[in-house]
Amino acid sequence: MMKPTILLIESSVQQIDEARRENLSEKVTILKYDCTSVDKFISRLQPGGLYSNITAIVRTGWLKAGAYASHRLFATEVVPHYPPSLKLICCSGHGYDAADIDALTRKGIWYCNTPDACTEAVANTGLALVLETFRYLSFAQWCARYDWNRSRELGLKAVDPAGMVLGIIGMGDIGLSIAQKCEAALGMTISYHGPRRKEDAEARLKNGARFYADLDEMITEVDCVVIAAPYTPQTHHLLSRTQFEKAKSTGLRVVNIARGKMIDEDALLWALDNGKVVGAGLDVHDNEPVVNEKLRQNWMVTLLPHIAVCSRTSWSNFERQTLDNLEAFISTGKPLNPVNLIPG
C-alpha cells in the first residue's frame, strides 16, 4: 500500500518535535510547501501536478510569520481546486475565519484548528492590555523616553481597575482565562456576553459572572470591554458608534485580542475624541499590517502588532495538536477535534 502524501506548510517561527516528525516520516510521504504564490499552489493541485495526490495538509507554527504569511490557502476561491484525494487540513491557531469551512465540508474535507493551544499566551496579553487601558503605561513609556514632564498629565487620568466591571465578549477558553486573570490579579468584577449563558464558566470564577444576552445592555454597565469572540459576518464591527454612545459617563475602555474587523475604527476614533472611550488596547487591527494612522499617533492607546499568541508555549502546542489530529486520521480515518462534521 502506498503511503499517504502530506503537504507540510511551515512558518519561520515554530517549535519542531523532531522525534515525532521522524516517526511520522515512516508512515507518510512528506512534501514541504515552497510555493511563491497562491497561484503557484493552485497550479500544483491540478491533475498531474506535484500536489495532485495529497491526502492532508498540515500548516503549523505562527501563521503570521514567514514567507507564506499572506498565503490564504484555505479561502473560498482556492477550495474548488483541491484534488479528490485531499481529506484533511490541520492548521495551527485558535480562529479559523480564514478558511471556508462550509466549502471544505461540501468537498468532504475535515478541518482541524488547535483549540486552547494559545489560551495562556493570548490571555496574558489580554490581561496586560486591560491594565494598560486604566493606567496608560504606553504613554508613560513615551514620556520616560522623550518628555518626562508630560507624564504628570496622568495624575488625574490613570485609574486602578480594582472594583471595576470587566465585560467579556466571548466566554470561551480565552475569554474565561482573561476573566480569571483580571479577577484574581486586578480585583475586577466580571460580566460577559455571548449567544448563551455558560454556568460552567461562571463557576470557575471566584465571584461568578453576570451574563448579558444583549451586548448593548452590557456596554451600559461595564468599565472595560474585551473582545475574545470569533470573527464572523455577524460580528463584523461588533463595536461601533451605536455601542460606544451607550458607554457610562465615566467612559469605556476597549481591548481587542480577537480580530481587528470586529471594531469600527472610525467609530472608535470618534469615541476617543468625545470621551466615550477613555482607553484602548489593540493587538489586532482592521487593515493589518497597516495600523490606523490616527490610532498610531495616539500614545494614550496601546497598540501591538498581532502578537498576543506569540509564545514558544503556543508553538509547541500547535505542533503537538496538529500532529495529534494527523496521526489520528491516519490511524482511524477521523481526526480528534475537527471543527466541521463530515458524514459517513
Residues 112 and 134 in one domain: no
Residues 113 and 123 in one domain: no
Whether the Cβ atoms of residue 62 and residue 77 lie closer than 8 Å to each other? no
Residues 181 and 260 in one domain: yes
Closest among 13, 102, 112 to 322, alpha carbons compared? 112
Residue with the three cell numbers 503511503: 3
pLDDT at 251: 97
Residues 179 and 110 in one domain: no
User: Is 255 domain-assigned?
Assistant: yes
Residues 105 and 123 in one domain: no
pLDDT at 6: 97
User: Is 338 domain-assigned?
Assistant: no
User: Is 102 domain-assigned?
Assistant: yes
Within 8 A by CB and 6+ apart from 215, the residues are: 169, 193, 238, 243
Residues 185 and 228 in one domain: yes
| DSSP E strand boundaries for the chain | 5-10, 29-32, 56-60, 88-91, 110-112, 165-169, 189-193, 210-212, 224-227, 252-256, 277-282, 301-303
DSSP string, 170-235: --SHHHHHHHHHHHHHH--EEEEESSS--HHHHHTSTT--EEES-HHHHHTT-SEEEE-SPP-GGG
User: Is 339 domain-assigned?
Assistant: no
Residues 140 and 16 in one domain: no
pLDDT at 187: 98
Residues 144 and 195 in one domain: yes
Within 8 A by CB and 6+ apart from 233, the residues are: none
User: Is 340 domain-assigned?
Assistant: no
Residues 191 and 68 in one domain: no
- Per the structure, the count of domains in the chain is 2
pLDDT at 95: 80
Would you mind telling me the total number of residues written for the chain in this entry?
A: 344
Long-range contacts formed by 133-136: CB under 8 A, 24+ apart? 133/224, 133/253, 133/254, 133/255, 133/278, 133/279, 133/280, 133/281, 133/302, 134/158, 134/159, 134/160, 134/161, 134/164, 134/224, 134/253, 134/279, 135/159, 135/160, 136/279, 136/300
Per-residue tens of pLDDT for the chain, all 344 residues: 689 999 999 999 999 999 999 999 999 999 999 999 999 999 999 999 999 999 999 999 999 999 999 999 999 999 999 999 999 999 999 888 889 999 999 999 999 999 989 999 999 999 999 999 999 999 999 999 999 999 999 999 999 999 999 999 999 999 999 999 999 999 999 999 999 999 999 999 999 999 999 999 999 999 999 999 999 999 999 999 999 999 999 999 999 999 999 999 999 999 999 999 999 999 999 999 999 999 999 999 999 999 999 999 999 999 999 999 999 999 999 999 999 998 86
Tell how strand 277-282 and strand 252-256 pair up.
parallel
pTM of the model as a whole: 0.90
- State the virtual CA torsion across 135, 136, 141, 145 in degrees, nearest 10: -120
Residues 218 and 277 in one domain: yes
User: 271 phi and psi, to 5 degrees?
Assistant: -65, -40
Q: Which residues are catalytic?
A: 259, 288, 306
User: Is 342 domain-assigned?
Assistant: no
Residues 195 and 261 in one domain: yes
Q: Residue 50's domain is classified under what CATH number?
A: 3.40.50.720
pLDDT at 339: 94
pLDDT at 2: 82
User: Is 43 domain-assigned?
Assistant: yes
Residues 266 and 197 in one domain: yes
- Helices then strands (H, E): number in the chain? 12, 12
Tell how strand 210-212 and strand 5-10 pair up.
unpaired
User: Is 54 domain-assigned?
Assistant: yes
User: 64 phi and psi, to 5 degrees?
Assistant: -90, 5
Q: How far apart are the first and last CA of the chain?
A: 23
Closest among 205, 117, 114, 118 to 168, alpha carbons compared? 205
User: Which structural domain range is residue 89 located in?
Assistant: 5-117+312-332
pLDDT at 1: 61
